[in-house]
Amino acid sequence: MTKNFFNNKSFKIFKKGEKYIPGLVQTFAKNPFQFSFGFSPIFLNKGKGCYVSDINGNKLIDTIMGIGPLILGYNNKIINKAIKSQINKGIIFSLTNPQEVELAEILNRETKFDMFKFSKTGADVTSAAIRLSRAYNGREKILSCGYHGWHDWSAASLKRNNGIPKYSKKIIQKFEYNNLKDFLNKVDNKTAAVIMEPIIFEKPNLKFLKTIRQITRQKKIVLIFDEMWTGFRLDIGGASKILNIKPDLVCYSKAIANGMPISVLGGSKKIMNLLDKDVFFYTTFGAETLSISSAIATIKLLKRDKVLQKINSRGENLIKNINKLINKHNVTSVSIQGYGSRFRFILNDKKNILKTFMHEQYLKNNILWNGIITLSYSHKNKELKKIIDATDKILKKISKHSLSELNYQIKGKLIKSRPL
Ligand SMILES: Cc1ncc(COP(=O)(O)O)c(C=O)c1O
């Protein structure tokens, strides 16, 4: 039976939302056209563990997890307790609060960076890192690899970059991940900072990363690791710890507080201390205590229960099983890339027919899927088995039909490509 994910109720709220909110959403990954419009749910309103409910009461296994933050899962008792206990004491104070120091001390112990500043969004801290780098070496050019947020300097390198001064567009250059030649062609003595996601999905080439570290050190360029995804997911100390490559500055957010809005800039004393001199980075809600207490409780739990080792090993097992199924059904248009707790499906189809088909089929199996599987501690054997069973059925169908036949079975609109 076809489930009722999209109906009059959701369409009415969608129409009202479009009237009052440009594009309806606050972040592009939630845009209804990133799903199968006319078939998929648009609004979620409840979550427990790794399950979410849409506004029509459909319960789904979530494989998106708030686009990264929910490392433990929705509505976690221990984290809720920490937040509630802090609510009773105060959300924000007129002077600084000791928990800021406690969190900084924990981060120092766990990540081995010297000093930290707290803010709200990923873009806040990547932007602060860029400003610090420029102040440190007096240069302006940025080399970037990956996505780093919506602020001018970063969005200047995206496709959707209207409203940004020409200067910002000139001053940033992208280089390709694992392409050392591309990096070497672009790095020079005018470069202030190299900012990169140390691991995205592709397996990291150690020579590529180590050479970047070596050259940035030689040329006095600040190396910034954007560990928004990998920090507190791949390892508490992020990719930098796993790879044993230490950048000068590091940026964390997403999983660090299981969904509460906090981002962290960390780094070496000699650069970070410029924030107490003439580099300006201050924000009212940087010291908001609910997020800070949630981060402390999350990190303690990640450590106590060895959560990340467990998620990543479960995820590696899931990848192994999906790869077996791809081979079993001899599907050449689908492959997997990434690490246990976050991996993507590479689909050989530019029109998004496969992606839309798979998304709808996963929904029919009560799984919310957007092409990337982001796991949490709440995804246990039961849920992983459901994902494997659904994938088996979906790959079987893909193996038996042409793209146009699959397209014919799609109920909603084809998923739109991202403007990145
Ligand atoms: C790697 C990376 N850096 C930076 C950001 C920007 O973070 P925010 O959206 O919190 O500003 C994101 C957001 O998804 C990200 O994935």
Question: Is 50 exceeded by the pLDDT of residue 351?
Answer: yes
User: CA 255, CA 412: separation in Å to the nearest integer?
Assistant: 32
**Beta strands 263-267; 334-339: pairing state:** unpaired
pLDDT tier at 36, thresholds 50, 70, 90 = very high
User: CA 370, CA 398: separation in Å to the nearest integer?
Assistant: 17
Question: Is 80 exceeded by the pLDDT of residue 124?
Answer: yes
The residue whose CA is least distant from atom 8 of ligand 1 is: 122
The string over 253-275, giving b where at least 16 C-beta atoms fall within 10 Å of a residue's C-beta and e elsewhere, is bbbbbbbbebbbbbbbeebbebb
Instruction: Compute CA distances 226 → 40, 216, 235, 260, 291, whole Å.
Output: 32, 16, 14, 19, 20
Backbone angles phi, psi at 263, to 5 degrees: -130, 160
User: CA 276, CA 341: separation in Å to the nearest integer?
Assistant: 37
Ligand 1 atom with minimal separation from the 126 CA: 4
**Over the stretch 383-414, which tens digit does the pLDDT of each residue have?**
999 999 999 999 999 999 999 999 999 999 99
pLDDT tier at 2, thresholds 50, 70, 90 = low
Question: Is 50 exceeded by the pLDDT of residue 319?
Answer: yes
pLDDT tier at 179, thresholds 50, 70, 90 = very high
Residues pairing with 264 in the sheet: 118, 252
Q: Quick one: average pLDDT of 336-343?
A: 98
For residue 181, how many other CB atoms are within 10 A of its CB? 10
User: CA 172, CA 155: separation in Å to the nearest integer?
Assistant: 10
The pLDDT of residue 418 is 79
Residue type, 406: L
Q: Quick one: average pLDDT of 17-46?
A: 96
pLDDT tier at 417, thresholds 50, 70, 90 = confident
User: CA 386, CA 273: separation in Å to the nearest integer?
Assistant: 50
Question: Is 60 exceeded by the pLDDT of residue 113?
Answer: yes
Question: Is 80 exceeded by the pLDDT of residue 3?
Answer: no
The pLDDT of residue 1 is 46
Kindly report the average pLDDT of the chain as a whole number: 97
Ligand 1 atom with minimal separation from the 146 CA: 1
Taking the centre of ligand 1 as the mean of its atom positions, its distance from the CA of residue 121, in whole angstroms, is: 7
Taking the centre of ligand 1 as the mean of its atom positions, its distance from the CA of residue 291, in whole angstroms, is: 17
User: CA 253, CA 208: separation in Å to the nearest integer?
Assistant: 25
Residue with tokens 């001899």, as numbered in its chain:
330
Question: Is 90 exceeded by the pLDDT of residue 228?
Answer: yes
Backbone angles phi, psi at 207, to 5 degrees: -65, -40
CB 130 within 8 A of CB 172: no
Q: Quick one: average pLDDT of 351-364?
A: 98
Q: 147, 152, 199, 263: which to mutate for ligand 1, most atoms within 8 A of CB?
A: 147
Residue with tokens 């739109």, as numbered in its chain:
416
Q: Quick one: average pLDDT of 8-30?
A: 96
92-287, CATH topology level: Aspartate Aminotransferase; domain 2 (3.40.640)
The residue whose CA is least distant from atom 13 of ligand 1 is: 149
Residue with tokens 């780093």, as numbered in its chain:
148
For residue 218, how many other CB atoms are within 10 A of its CB? 8
**Over the stretch 254-285, which tens digit does the pLDDT of each residue have?**
999 999 999 999 999 999 999 999 999 999 99
Q: Quick one: average pLDDT of 352-375?
A: 98
Ligand 1 atom with minimal separation from the 197 CA: 1
Question: For the residues of 28-43, what is the DSSP string, one character each?
Answer: GGG-GGGS-TTTS---
Question: Which of the 8 DSSP states describes residue 415?
Answer: P
8-74+307-409, CATH topology level: Aspartate Aminotransferase, domain 1 (3.90.1150)
Q: Is the pTM of this model over 0.85?
A: yes
Domain boundaries, the chain: 8-74+307-409, 92-287
Question: For the residues of 146-160, what is the DSSP string, one character each?
Answer: S---SSHHHHTTSSS
Instruction: Compute CA distances 95 → 86, 281, 294, whole Å.
Output: 16, 17, 20
Percent of the chain with pLDDT over 90: 98
Identify the residues whose C-beta falls under 6 Å from ligand 1: 121-123, 126, 146-149, 197, 226, 228-229, 253
**Over the stretch 292-302, which tens digit does the pLDDT of each residue have?**
999 999 999 99
End-to-end CA distance of the chain: 36
The pLDDT of residue 300 is 98
Taking the centre of ligand 1 as the mean of its atom positions, its distance from the CA of residue 215, in whole angstroms, is: 26
Ligand 1 atom with minimal separation from the 124 CA: 11
Q: 148, 150, 225: which to mutate for ligand 1, most atoms within 8 A of CB?
A: 148
Here the tokens at position 130 are 């860029």
pLDDT tier at 101, thresholds 50, 70, 90 = very high
Question: Is 90 exceeded by the pLDDT of residue 63?
Answer: yes
